[in-house]
Homo-oligomer: A and B are copies of this chain.
Amino acid sequence: MTARASQKPQPKTDRGERTRRKILDAAALAIGKRGFSATSISDITAAAGVGQGTFYIYFQSKEEVLREMVLQMGRDLRQHLTQAIAGTKNRLEAEREGLRAFIDFVRGNPGLYRIVEESQFVDEAIYRRHYMDFAATYRAALEAAEARGEIRKGSAEVRAWALMGMAVLLGQRYGIWDVATPLDDVVGPAVDLIGRGIRP
């Protein structure tokens, strides 16, 4: 089901590096806007301003581009969240800032968000890994908080997935479909729910 695939070799010159980037950027824009299957290779290469054959110098297929973009989005989001919760003093504060930062990220990168969700139907393994990785990080943070006595005892695994789920759907509702509602109006009630749900 999933391509095992030997990656294409990295570009060896500056020009190659630039061309690869152009293709990747054009692909992110096009796929983010129109969706994966509605976007053809020639759409991408045309938008990138390169020949069709050039695509295959750097990528095996559209799927491989998607895979790379999901990884990229994981890194971007991780960084955004890490930065957002950097100054927080306890788990509850981290939940608040993390949720706010997540919805904020979705508002700022609706295309990337969409790409990750669609990857589920293109290469399930990469989508699953994306979530599993986040879940593992989240779980570790919850266990640490539990050890510090900041939150009540309870399954960190289930909690991690439950809280991620909240964030994902709130991100859809208030990050994509409705970008007018102030973040505080969303984050406030949600964090109230979370806070009472997990505190000692």
Contact = CB atoms under 8 A, between A and B. Distances in A.
Copies assembled:
2
A168 B172 CA distance: 12
Interface residues of A, number: 40
**Dominant SS at the A interface?**
helix
Contacts of A158: 170, 185-186, 189-190
A50 interface: no
Nearest to A187: B158
A46 interface: no
A44 to B, nearest CB: 17
A26 interface: no
A166 interface: yes
Contact of A193 (B131, B135, B162): B162
